[in-house]
A = this chain, B = another copy of it.
Amino acid sequence: MLCQAASEMATKVMVLDPLVNCPASSIAYDHMVGSFDDRATVQEFAKRCAVLTVEIEHVDVATMEKLEQQGVDCQPKASTIRIIQDKYLQKVRFSRHGIPLPDFMQRAGDLFGYPLMLKSRRLAYDGRGNALAKNEEELTHALGGFARVIYVEKWTPFVKELAVIVGRGSDNSISCYPVVETIDKENICHVVKAPAHVPWKIRELAIDIAHKAVSSLEGAGVFAVELSLTKDGQVLLNEVAPRPDNSGHHTIESCYTSQFKQHLRAVLGLPLGDSSMKTPAAIMYNLLGEDEGEPGFHLAHQLIGRALNIQGTAVHWYDKPEMRKQRKMGHITIVGSSVGIVEAQLKSMLKVEGSETQTAVSPCVGIIMGSDSDLPIMKDAAMILNMFGVPHEVYFQTFISAHRTSEMMFSYALSSRDRGIQIIISAAGMVASLTPLPVIGVPVRASALDGMDSLLSIVQGSPVATVAINNATNAGLLAVRMLGVGDADLLARLSQYQEDTRDDVLKKAEKLQTDGWESYLNL
């Protein structure tokens, strides 16, 4: 993927990989077959490169250090690779920089109590080199499985695993990508959701820690910072990888600058690019190797087949020469206009039960009203949305009501955003305090005061986009205008609608001028 990014800017990438037909070999400028932890090979390879970078941290760091002394431009620096290769040193470094970490010790008896997490200091990735011991017996057993030096860490129960990709330029400028949530399956990264569905404060905390962690290291490049969110709202640093990472693959489709382009910019001494998202939501699904089934009948191929029919989907197949169980063979990224939409699309790709109808509709406007007495008014909003092809849903107070069954209202308001609703049109205003979505309020004329009571009640309180009494048509048009903020096509169609309406008015004006008011009124 680094080579793909490089080819757009005609940057020539040399690859050192022991496999003759490794995925990068087909698009790299040149491929040197050899081991990246063999001194002579790395030295020979470095002679042919202007800048030396890594895509895996398990390289021969002693040789890298020697090369640096000889003036070879290594990005990130060998010192960084050395620290990161030893997870214990990594934690000591970050601890000294005031970064919150789980409690850890190099040698531990039963200081922490059980369960304990045993972690290999070196050559550990993707959960390999980790073991959970629930009691002393399991600890003895687990220790036997570790041939390498280990350290012990207090087992921290987490509610979510988060990650931040951080770009660091050769001028030490830093640019953080949005915080993502990573979901593992059997210790291997399985799904990545961007942005993470956590409160903004947690996101700020995660970005702050990631920023500090990368600042404490040397050299340019992209770094992946793994974090845990604990039950009590703490964000703890887990580890840092000095390279583009699986948790940032979604950036290829979802961000202005992909993590691969960012890594190239950084190591080449170019200014860092914009790391913000150009689509509001993205979800990445890893295609893992299976050992069952005939080639061509793997689940992965079925998923690819389905993905090709799902909106906003990009398939990446790495073409690794051999499929192995749990090996990352490719990934699928889905981008879209809301978290709700991309999650529904992932479910439909995975054929989660009951999801198919959900994706077919995927409403982005919710119209809610007190009771069926409001429907003759509120239907006008639905008619406008129909005209502009905006998918929407309509609900009665039987399910939700601000004044009567407020709990249902509460759950509707809270769930609406996750389900992909972007705008709520309501015959009451109260819902606005329960959601960050824009709420359009339609005051419906009740028996008393000609609806003036509704108008004044809706316009007060939380910010509600209030329209005229009974004017649900304007509520629909306002919703279309709001969606037009991010949809140039919809905006253009609305302009056309305005022009057509103006033409009608002009025609009428002409008729009045030609025929006179008596004829106009059929008098």
Contact = CB atoms under 8 A, between A and B. Distances in A.
Interface residues of A, number: 89
A410 to B, nearest CB: 13
A485 B483 contact: yes
A488 B278 contact: no
A483 B305 CA distance: 35
A492 B315 CA distance: 29
A271 interface: yes
A7 interface: yes
A492 B195 contact: yes
Interface string A412-435: 000001000011000000000100
Given A311-B256, A467-B466, A27 B7 contact: yes
A501 to B, nearest CB: 9
A258 to B, nearest CB: 10
Contacts of A339: 488
A314 interface: yes
The 8 closest A-B pairs by CB, nearest first: A486-B486, A465-B465, A200-B496, A10-B319, A463-B474, A438-B481, A436-B494, A463-B477
A460 interface: yes
Nearest to A274: B311
B478 A467 contact: no
B10 A488 contact: no
A276 to B, nearest CB: 7
User: Which has the most chain B C-beta neighbours within 10 Å: A29, A471, A481?
Assistant: A481
Interface string A356-374: 0000000000000000000
Contacts of A478: 438, 463-465
Interface string A459-503: 110111111110101110110011111111101111110110000
Contacts of A121: none
Interface of A: 3-4, 7-10, 12, 23, 26-27, 29, 178, 195, 199-201, 203, 253, 256, 265, 270-271, 273-274, 276-281, 308-309, 311-319, 330, 335, 337-339, 417, 422-423, 433, 436-440, 455, 459-460, 462-469, 471, 473-475, 477-478, 481-489, 491-496, 498-499
Tell me whether chain A's interface is mostly helix, strand or loop, or mixed. Answer: mixed
A35 B212 CA distance: 56
A9 B488 contact: no
A327 to B, nearest CB: 15
B199 A499 contact: yes
Nearest to A1: B8
Given A199-B499, A308-B271, A485 B8 contact: no
A484 to B, nearest CB: 6
The winner among A277, A313, A475, A482 for most chain B CB atoms within 10 A is: A482
B433 A498 contact: yes
A430 to B, nearest CB: 14
A468 B278 CA distance: 34
Given A10-B318, A199-B499, A436-B494, 4 more contacts: A10-B23, A10-B317, A438-B478, A463-B471
A9 B433 contact: no
A26 B26 contact: no
